[in-house]
Amino acid sequence: MTSSARSSSRRDLVEKLSFSGTPEDVVEQIRTNVVPTGMNHVILSLCDPTLVGHWLGRKSDYDGVPHMKDQLQLIHDRVMPHLG
């Protein structure tokens, strides 16, 4: 397998196993990438603005990234009702 094929496969895998965006985006991603597989569980891993800053090597407040408590509330209110 060429390095570009391996790289492409990794990107495809990351896109299928990672969910991001609005709650509606996440619902659609789960419906598209998880539900058809027959799996009925997902593992939730959240990241807050501080962690995003560490990953990017910048110290800043990322306004577009809600804090963990707010992310959990969004999942509870706007994602889970569509998957139950």
Cα distances from 15 to residues 8, 57, 84, in angstroms, run 11, 23, 23
pLDDT at 49: 79
Model's pTM, two decimal places?
A: 0.73
Q: Do 16 and 36 form a contact (C-beta atoms < 8 A)?
A: no
Query: For position 41, what pLDDT does the model report?
Result: 87
Domain boundaries, the chain: 3-82
Q: What is the pLDDT along the chain (84 residues), one digit of tens a residue?
A: 555 555 557 888 877 788 988 999 999 999 998 899 998 888 888 888 788 778 788 766 666 778 889 999 999 999 999 987
Helices (H), the chain: 3-17, 23-33, 49-56, 68-74
d(CA 63, CA 66): 7
Residue 12 has a pLDDT of 82
Predicted local confidence at residue 20, as pLDDT: 86
